[in-house]
Chains A and B, each alone.
Chain A
Amino acid sequence: MEQFFQQLTNGLAVGGIYALIALGYTMVYGVLKLINFAHGDLFTIGAYLGLTLLTSMALTDKLGPFFGILLLAVMVMILVGIVGILLDQVAYRPLRESPRLSAVVSALGASIFFQNTIMLIYGASFHVYPQNILPRMVVNVFGLHIPMIRILVLLASVVMMLALYTFIQKTTIGTAIRAAAEDQGAAKLMGIDVNGVIMIVFFIGPALGGAAGLMVGLYYGQVNFTMGWIYGLKAFTAAILGGIGNIPGAMVGGILLGVIEALGAAYISIAWKDAIAFLVLILILIVRPTGLLGERVAEKI
């Protein structure tokens, strides 16, 4: 039983990160019906920008660990958000009226472009976040060992997800985003600036992805230019699991995927961990083709 709860916390931490990245996929898909395959690389950019800012500005020395990391996170999110907007303007906007497959191909191209740019700038070898920025505390409750940082990671992702949910549900801009996702044409007729909405979506999604990259860097310490691939793939799976286009769905899907992986590794087989996760995905899609919380009918990409 103890092992079960330990594995549950392992899965929750991984799942929180999946969920944050999955939000970027799902928001863009919701509004544009486009799978932004470059999203995983925006996550990598977040991890690398975090490393550069952390080492060059010594924020944590000046402001202490908490405010230093907070300011760092805000800076990384804004910068990655801007990269997201640029990505949309350069790679997707000119293709808005083209068949949807063109934009998908453009997304794959953008992904390769980002990956190689990161490699050329930072080099192909591993980069390591400085050690001991965050206090390495371990919380012991009910015989469970939970590193403090894992709780912080989970907490940070939950806070960001709740903030996003409130933003989408309660504010005027949020309502505009939901309207544009429902029916772009009608939204335009109602006087909603759909291009503005798309820009906001391409800011928020990548910003959250960038924050996830920073958290992975701080938590696991090690970054390299191909790291976005696996995380992107898993987060995309999580978005589908929860119902792509649906924001609470991405959160539920991400957390669930992380937990399934951890428990699958624990009770069945480590080597089959990914296979188990995908098997669950297939089973859920057979029963609910639109994903767990998806309502709209899934369309082909």
Chain B
Amino acid sequence: MKKFIAVLFPLLALSLLLSPPVFSAETVKIGLMGPMTGPWASEGQEMKQVLDLLAEDINSAGGLNGKKVEVISEDDAGDPRQASLAATRLTTKNVVAVIGTYGSSITEATQNIYDESEIIQVANGSTAIRLTEKGLDYFFRTCPRDDEQGRVAAQTIKNLGHKKVAILHDNTSYAKGLASETQGLLVEMEGVEVVFFEAITPGERDYNAILTKVKATSPDAIFFTGYYPEAGLLLRQKTEMGWDVPFMGGDATNHPDLVKIAGNAAAKGFYFVSAPLPKDLDTPEARDFVEKFQKAYGHAPNSIYAVLAGDGFRVVTEAIKQTDSTDTKKVAEYLHKEMEGFPGLTGKISFNDKGDRVGEVYRVYQVNENGEFILQP
């Protein structure tokens, strides 16, 4: 043991000497935690592109309160275990706030880590209800909650005139939450019946057995609250069965790969509830941003969640500017109480006491025969 310490100590000292100074009063550090690898890598990489672009914008305009903004990104790989490691690393890097992340169960694994370190977290794609029901002072999100999504979904199902609805989820905290929320609302509505409610196993290839079982209950419509890879397969296999029941998805099915997996013919007519796509955003801030993004990366942003991450970054920097402070207590206080109708990329932004975004965000989309997502009036 003594020997071990004798070796360890000089090594530690050496590493301290060699590592660059951690404290530098010249920059405001904002963390980004996103899935840079793993199944949702495309989301995370675009989140980083958006934040880099916005930080550059601020820096070229003279910085934030005279300091440069620095984005420090960590990879959560779309995995709760990896995310808690990423979060621990970010807490040691002196960040004021962390933007991210995409999946609810991944965010949930990191909430307490940031809260204990008094670092502000602004999630961009985590819509599970309970994330903001814990009374955490430093947690915010720019995306809406599943109960709002559930409301819009239930309303849409009713408006389309469906009477018997089958609901499928995949047992992730997001999908299950949205499914039971929607079920609850549909049950209360008159004339709508939920005839089927069960979970599928994500990551499989063959959902024929499940579809056959759902078909036996003869629903008018299926509502699937899981993610796009499974939604694509379900659409494809449903069409192969020769069953043309209307199919609807939650906002996790909003991804161009959905159409690639299902094929244009099977994806045609698919409805989904989602925050608006970047191309459908109509505020001047958004148009300006999409143009800049296009110029920097050669294409418009694909994912609304990346844009919502951008909004997270913008509200944090705005709050730091207004309070002229990087004291997270003051910044959080400002976000909770004083920010009112801030012109975000995705519309006006205010937060309530829980850290939830106030206001309607969700829209309904339908896939057309060319596989494009068309905003429904």
Contact indicator A266/B261 (Cβ below 8 Å):
no
Contact indicator A221/B261 (Cβ below 8 Å):
yes
B residues in contact with A149, CB < 8 Å? 240
Residues from 255 to 291 in A contacting B, C-beta threshold 8 Å: 261-262, 265-266, 269-271, 273-274
Chain A binder among B66-74, B93-101, B182-190, B199-207: B199-207
Chain A, interface size: which category?
A: 35 or more
B229 within 8 Å of A by Cβ? yes
For the complex, would chain B's binding face be called helix, strand, loop or mixed by DSSP majority? helix
B residues in contact with A226, CB < 8 Å? 39, 203
Contact indicator B261/A126 (Cβ below 8 Å):
yes
A residues in contact with B240, CB < 8 Å? 136, 138, 147, 149
- Closest chain A CB from B258 CB (angstroms): 10
B241 within 8 Å of A by Cβ? yes
- Closest chain B CB from A134 CB (angstroms): 11
- Closest chain B CB from A257 CB (angstroms): 12
B141 within 8 Å of A by Cβ? no
B residues in contact with A274, CB < 8 Å? 201
A residues in contact with B232, CB < 8 Å? 222
B366 within 8 Å of A by Cβ? no
- Closest chain B CB from A48 CB (angstroms): 15
B18 within 8 Å of A by Cβ? no
Could you say which of A125, A136, A221, A261 contacts B209, with CB atoms under 8 Å apart? Answer: A261
Q: Could you give, for residues 53-86 of chain B, a 1 whenever the CB lies within 8 Å of some chain A CB and a 0 otherwise? A: 0000000000000000000000000000000000
Could you say which of A131, A220, A265 contacts B233, with CB atoms under 8 Å apart? Answer: A220
A residues in contact with B200, CB < 8 Å? 270-271
Contact indicator A10/B212 (Cβ below 8 Å):
yes
A residues in contact with B236, CB < 8 Å? 220-221
A262 to B213, CA, bound (A): 10
When A124-B41, A131-B263 are in contact, do A11 and B209 touch as well, CB less than 8 Å?
Answer: yes
- Closest chain A CB from B196 CB (angstroms): 10
B340 within 8 Å of A by Cβ? no
Contact indicator A230/B204 (Cβ below 8 Å):
yes
Contact indicator B212/A227 (Cβ below 8 Å):
no
Chain B, interface size: which category?
A: 35 or more
Q: Could you give, for residues 242-277 of chain B, a 1 whenever the CB lies within 8 Å of some chain A CB and a 0 otherwise? A: 110000000000000100110111000000000000
A residues in contact with B261, CB < 8 Å? 126, 128, 221-222
- Closest chain A CB from B268 CB (angstroms): 13
- Closest chain B CB from A258 CB (angstroms): 9
Residues from 25 to 72 in B contacting A, C-beta threshold 8 Å: 37-39, 41-42
A3 within 8 Å of B by Cβ? yes
A261 to B237, CA, bound (A): 17
Q: Could you give, for residues 86-123 of chain A, a 1 whenever the CB lies within 8 Å of some chain B CB and a 0 otherwise? A: 00000000000000000000000000000000000001
Contact indicator B206/A269 (Cβ below 8 Å):
no
The 6 closest A-B pairs by CB, nearest first: A262-B209, A10-B208, A220-B205, A271-B199, A265-B209, A131-B263
Can you list 18 residue pairs at the A/B interface with Cβ under 8 Å? A3-B216, A10-B208, A13-B208, A14-B209, A125-B39, A125-B41, A128-B260, A128-B261, A219-B205, A220-B233, A220-B236, A220-B237, A221-B236, A226-B203, A231-B205, A266-B213, A270-B209, A270-B213
